Structure 1
Amino acid sequence: MGDPPGVQDRGPAPADAVHPDTPSAVLPDPEAPVSPGELPAFDLLRSLPLDALADFARSLRPVRHRDGDRILVQGERAPGMHLLREGKVRVEAATEGDVVVPLATLGPGEGFGEMSLLTGEPASASVIAEGECVTLALDRAAFNDLSLRHPQLLRDFTAIVSRRLRVLDEAFAASRAKERDVTRFLQEDSSGPIPVLVGREKTTRDLDRRVAQLAASPDPVLLLGERGTGKELLARRIHASGPRAALPLLSVDGDRITETQWGDSLFGDYHRRDGRLHPRGVCTMDLAEGGTLILRNVESLPPAVLERLARYLDREGAGGVRRRDVRILATHSGSPGGGGAGTGVPRNLPPALAANTVSIPPLRERKRDIPELARHFLEKHGKRLGIPGRRLDDDALGKLVTHDYRHGNVRELEEAIRRALVLSEGEVIGAGEVFLLRPGEEGGGKGILQVPRSVVASVLRTWPGPLRWGVAAFFAALVAACFLAPATAAGEAALLLVWGVWWPALALSFLLLGRVWCSLCPMAFAGGFAQRLAGGTRQVPGWIKDREPWILAGGFLLILWIEEVTDMRNSPV
């Protein structure tokens, strides 16, 4: 193991002595002398000749270690090198932030501390016994004597150490690359343009001025508001407008932070050793060091985590550990003056957090913001979907303004605009393409709005574009079979599919699935495709759209009349 501890040159120690500098309590094991025959099993000694192995065996001292003994201590000088004869040990190193990083677990046949024989440097890592184990110890004086009698020993050790250093350099390079990746991720999460507050209401403008004041302060902030009012966007704006803008920004949901007997993912898991608390790994607060942490739904945090948060905000470390430099911006789905979750600030919220609150009014209380928000979302999602330039007609805008948005506020408005863009075919979006939850309708029921976003995204990649081409090709083949080969088996099968399957299925689809077929209809697709080929940009006249039901009914009656006059039922082709 490539640990560079140093040793004091004291000469060979007696076989039954305990070295005074050894950090662990070691017990000599004189009943198990070292045999030259067992040394080739150790990687470090495999290349030595027999005479060197015999001298090496006489210089090694068996030492027994108890569970938890620290055989080498990071940063301290060590008595020498150890070869692991029985049991296993773990190797770990502490960072500058007192985060203990596990490096390796070693078993019989492996060695550690050989760098101390060559460099005299303090140990770069700690080696701790896991259960009882036995090592074969070699101090510096004995190694120097062996090197004089067997010069190849020094050469072999130097080669082994060089290989281990190369492996360590590669491991540290990979660790630094991973650190850079994490840093880049954190910076990407906090980089980009500063989020904007859209709206003309006085309350919105006042809110923007309040954000500018909070951005310059390091104090924690509690953002209150109903679901979908833009609490996280406001928190990101506070971060992006302040002095920590170039530092990490993390956002975590209180619902996902759970308490265990060892700790939590927010402040970390800790175990006590040598009277001190040592973290088991990297936690969220470590990743957000120096930057900002957005705690969404802070009311959902477990009581023990809320207690740690209160101690942190009171300028103490959580549980007696080092305090990080992280600004806390918390969101809560309540309003000032309430008494419970969903209606106000909970009583057990940390006082330092509840003392600095910002209340975001619901969208139904700032109706004048809706037209500007709608235009903002049209531009945002229009560019993303590749259909810029769409606008709302007066009826659609009136429908949006009169809605109460009790189910999702600004988020509900944004989803309505996004769906309207997907459903619209012309440049002007009408009221019939705007779908909103009706007053009194529960938003938690089953329906397409509850489908996971990832599923919707995958469906939109194939619906309706590629499917339209497939349906059009299939119907083109049916028409060709009906007209070009009416008396053949293929023609009869095509007739059966059109009149026996497609027509009944079309009628049932309107009852069961609504206007799903309209998005796949080959006639509409063929018309639109022909118009694009001709370079036409004319839209359907408004008087036709206004009389659409009557035109459809008239066309259907005309088809029935033609069937009766031409005897199409008995001879479709």
Structure 2
Amino acid sequence: AEERCHVLTIPFDALKNYFKRFPLLSYRLARALAEKVTKMDRRLLQAEEDRDTLYAIVGHKDREADVSYQSHTATRFFRQNEQKIRRLAEDGGPVLITGESGVGKYQLGRLVFRNSPSLNRIFLYVNFYNPDTLRPEGGGSPQSEEEILFGRASGGTYQPGLIELARGGTLLIMGLDRLSAGTQERLLGLIDGRTAAESPSGARAKPPLRLLFGAREDLKTLQARGGVVPDLARLLAERTLSIPPLRDRKKDLPALIDFYVRKYSAELGRAPALVPEETLKVLLDHSWPGNEGELAETLKRGLVLAGRGVLQPEDIHLDFKRIEDRGKIDLLKRPLVYRALKSPSFPAALQWTAAPFFFLLTLLLLFGPSDPERNIGSVYTWALGWPMLVIGSFLWARFWCAVCPMGTTGALAKRIQSLDLPVPHVFKKYSTWFIMLMAITVIWLEMVTEMRQHPFRIGLLLAAVLGGSVAFSLLFERQAWCSYICGLGGMMGFFAKVSPLELRADRNVCLSRCTGHECYTGQGDHPGCPYFQLAPALESNQNCKLCLTCLKNCSHRAVNLFLRPPGKELWELRQGSPV
């Protein structure tokens, strides 16, 4: 009962006598019971109407999404199997969809549902490959797959199962081989009408619904290892759709890429991004071990990182390597270190300390004594400056770049005025060559102009590099000069490979919890990585200046600052091991 009530028990013979002695009592009791039944019928009718309305809304929204974002219908796989897919979709019977993890079994299930002339009221899905499926929300005791599917009674209340909730629609059960033999037999009986789902009243009436099954192995393999009961296997033998892995159907990639680019561009509130030929080549050359799931995640991440409506090759990050933390100490696990590096004062305080010193040094070189032995700026540059830069790169990686006055001045100029143009693709594609050319040019100028003997020329070189940094900051986004041109930074990046410090992100945390990739895109008043790096894709000290911008933007504690054995990065690169 929905209301608190009291129960009075009267023997049947005594009740008959009461009715004979008091006929009005019989009339009033019958009238009260009739009103109660009528009221209950109205409630049941209203609940059924509400349920129908909810199903109609959910079904309409589902169909809107399907119509807007059809993936498999544009693929070669669908065209080759279209007749079989439509035949199975139209007859209302069960279907088994097989294929590796991530190949698109769910999407194909929705395609069958969408093409069904009936049993298309609602689409429900359950994945028994996910262990959390058996754990209800709120931390209750684990449920069996039979209770999830067929419902259960608990504490005097009845909890309907997915089969009853999917009445008039389609239920996709992923993980056929994870179901017990008893559950499979009960589902088989439901299909052929021998058994039925239970309702709250205990009545047994076969609900009209379609059952779809998903499995990661083909039917023969499932039968060989006892993953499916024989009768159900015989029923599904001619009702199976097998999706090949994505590596075996590369011709489907262009259609799938177009589908996901349009889908995620719409979710981001943008016009569909353009995919140049060089980006398409990168995607076609990959083997996609994670199949369509990996493709979708890669394109979604790339669209978040892409700018100006074009998905460039550098926006595509593949094969994130697992962090190998053996023999390493994460300094950020020390609360004092974490708070210090997360502070807004880091590295700003060091940057604004180094900048005045740099300008003073440049002025001394330009306007001080021409005799190198009497010019303090010249003495410092050659006796302390260069050695400190090289030795520092071996000790604390590219941290000199984080406090570099040229980068700091460029960042200040950017705050005042900047066009923030996208960096030309030629700089990104050939950055190694530009950096090498700049480094060779600087060394050549030092030799041919005898800079060691002429402080003024050293000052001119520093001023020219500063001018280049500021000019790039005024023109392009982020720190394009430091990322793609600066020869000095490139040299320090090379030496930084042997440093005992490294910054890496926890790939598992990034993939499972992060959706905005704030380490790259930025967050609020905090800009993204000045070096155009995605933290989980970072594999080398060469591309990181340890400014810890990613740490400040990451809300998932995925960033690690490791103390490692010197030279470990070179050893890992040689061995091809994960970083």
The normalised TM-score by structure 1 is: 0.50
In the alignment, structure 1 residue 106 sits paired with structure 2 residue 5: yes
SS of the residue 2:187 aligns to: helix
Report if aligned partners of 2:96, 2:241 keep a CA contact under 8 Å in 1.
yes
Contact (CA 8 Å) 1:190, 1:245: kept in 2 or not?
A: no
Q: Residue 127 of structure 2 corresponds to which residue in structure 1?
A: 253
Residue 217 of structure 1, CA deviation: 0.9
Q: Distance in 2 between matches of 1:214 and 1:231?
A: 15
Aligned to 1:287: 165
Quote the residue 1:541 is aligned against: 424
Which structure features the higher share of helix residues?
2
CA distance 1:409–1:304, change in 2 (3 Å): same
Give yes or no for contact 1:297–1:332 (8 Å, CA) kept in 2.
yes
- Which structure would you say has the larger Rg? 1
The aligned residue for residue 55 of structure 2 is: 183
Matched residue, 1:76: none
Partner Cα separation in structure 2 for residue 296 and residue 196 of structure 1: 21
Instruction: Check 1:510–1:280 CA distance in 2 against 1; reply closer, same or farther (3 A cut).
Output: farther
Higher strand share: 1
Please name the residue that 1:236 is paired with. 110
Determine the structure 1 residue equivalent to 2:313.
431
**Equivalences for residues 428-507 of structure 1 within 5 A:** 428-437=310-319
Contact 1:228 1:412 (C-alpha < 8 Å) held by counterparts: yes
1:363 — aligned with what?
A: 246
Q: Is contact 2:59-2:122 (8 Å) kept?
A: yes
State the number of aligned residues.
369
* Aligned counterpart for 1:310 among listed residues 188, 200, 204: 188
Among all aligned residue pairs of Structure 1 and Structure 2, give the percentage whose two residues are the same amino acid.
21
Asked whether 1:219 is paired with 2:102, we answer no
**Aligned position for 2:531:** none
Q: Which amino acid aligns with 2:51?
A: E
Matched with 1:376 is 259
Q: Is the 8 A contact 1:345 1:354 kept in 2?
A: no
Q: Residue deviations 1:63-117, cap 9 Å, x none?
A: xxxxxxxxxxxxxxxxxxxxxxxxxxxx4xxxxxxxxxxx45534xx77xxxxxx
Q: 1:203 & 1:549 partners in 2: Cα distance? A: 41
Q: Quick check: 1:199–1:373 contact (8 Å CA) kept in 2? A: no
Conserved? CA contact 1:475–1:522, under 8 Å: no
Q: Is the 8 A contact 1:378 1:418 kept in 2?
A: yes
Q: 1:221-249: CA deviations, max 9, x gaps?
A: 11111111111111111111121265222
Shift of 1:434: 0.9
Secondary structure in 1 matching 2:173: strand
Q: Aligned to 1:265, what secondary structure does the other structure show?
A: helix
SS of the residue aligned with 2:423? coil
The answer to whether residue 284 in structure 2 is matched with residue 401 in structure 1 is: yes
Partner AA of 1:310 in structure 2:
L
Against the structure 1 CA distance between its residues 236 and 421, is the aligned structure 2 distance closer, same or farther, given a 3 Å change threshold? same
How far apart are the structure 1 equivalents of 2:145 and 2:318? 46
1:296 is aligned to 174
Equivalent of 1:419 in 295, 301, 307? 301
Distance in 1 of aligned mates of 2:216 and 2:409:
47
Gaps of 5+ in 1: 1-90, 92-102, 112-128, 149-153, 272-277, 448-469, 484-503, 516-520, 567-573
| In structure 2, distance between residues paired with 1:164 and 1:311 | 37
Q: Distance in 1 between matches of 2:192 and 2:32?
A: 52
In structure 2, the CA distance between the partners of 1:400 and 1:159, relative to structure 1 (3 Å rule), is: same
Cα contact 2:126–2:172 (8 A) shared by 1? yes
Q: Which amino acid aligns with 1:402?
A: D
Aligned match for 2:292, one of 395, 398, 410: 410
Could you tell me how far 1:188 is from its partner in structure 2?
Answer: 4.3
Unaligned residue ranges in structure 2 (runs of 5+): 136-141, 199-203, 326-342, 357-391, 403-407, 444-454, 464-579
Give the conservation status (yes or no) of the 8 Å contact 1:264–1:305: no
Where 1:390 maps in the other structure, the secondary structure is coil
2:413 and 2:260 map into 1 onto residues whose CA distance is 31
Q: How far does residue 544 in structure 1 lie from its aligned partner after superposition?
A: 3.2
How many Å apart are 1:416 and its aligned residue? Answer: 0.8
What is the one-letter code of the residue matched to 1:306?
A: Q
Q: Which moved more, 1:248-257 or 1:291-300?
A: 248-257
Distance in structure 2 (CA, Å) of the matches to 1:330 and 1:295: 5
**Aligned-partner SS, 2:97:** strand
Are the counterparts in 2 of residues 189 and 250 from structure 1 also a CA contact under 8 Å?
A: no
Q: CA deviation at 1:251?
A: 1.4
- Distance change in 2, residues 1:214/1:257 (3 Å): farther
Instruction: Tell me what 1:80 maps to.
Output: none
Shift in alpha-carbon separation, 1:352–1:522, aligned structure 2, 3 A: farther
Does the aligned pair in 2 maintain the 1:226–1:362 contact within 8 Å?
yes
Q: Matches of 1:354 and 1:220 in 2, distance apart?
A: 11
Deviation at 1:265, TM superposition (A): 2.6
1:329 and 2:212 matched:
yes
Equivalent pair of 1:377/1:417 in contact (CA under 8 Å): yes
Deviation at 1:425, TM superposition (A): 2.7
Aligned to 2:91, what secondary structure does the other structure show? coil
Distance in 2 of aligned mates of 1:261 and 1:381:
36
- Matched residue SS, 1:290: coil
Contact 1:211-1:234 at 8 Å conserved across structures: no
Partner of 1:13: none
Tell me by how many angstroms 1:415 deviates: 0.9
**Secondary structure in 2 aligned to 1:386?**
coil
Q: What SS class does the counterpart of residue 540 from structure 1 fall into? A: coil
Show CA shifts across 1:337-374 (max 9, x none): 32579x99745554323441111111111111212322
Paired AA for residue 177 in structure 2: E
What displacement does 1:398 show? 1.6
Distance (whole Å) between structure 2 residues aligned to residue 324 and residue 268 of structure 1: 14
SS in 2 for 1:266: helix
Q: 1:188 to 1:144 in 2, by over 3 A?
A: same
Query: 1 CA distance for matches of 2:253 and 2:210?
Result: 32
Cα distance 1:304–1:529, how it changes in 2: closer, same or farther (>3 A)? Answer: farther
Moved more, 353-362 or 257-266: 257-266
Whole-Å separation in 2 of the counterparts to 1:190 and 1:295: 18
Q: Which has the higher contact order (CA 8 A, sep 6+)?
A: 2
Q: Distance in 1 between matches of 2:61 and 2:50?
A: 16
Secondary structure class of the residue paired with 1:422: helix
Residues 249-291 of structure 1: CA distance to partner in whole angstroms, max 9, x if unpaired? 22122353699799623123379xxxxxx99442222222222
Q: CA deviation at 1:409?
A: 0.6
Give the Cα–Cα distance (whole angstroms) in 2 for the partners of residues 399 and 142 of structure 1.
93
User: How much does 1:145 deviate?
Assistant: 6.2
- Matches of 1:262 and 1:399 in 2, distance apart? 42
Q: CA deviation at 1:178?
A: 5.2
| Change in CA separation of 1:178 and 1:161 when aligned onto 2, cut-off 3 Å | same
Per-residue CA deviation, residues 107-149 of structure 1 (Å, 9 max, x unaligned), is: 4xx77xxxxxxxxxxxxxxxxx8xx999x9694455556899x
**Which residue of structure 2 aligns with residue 208 of structure 1?**
82
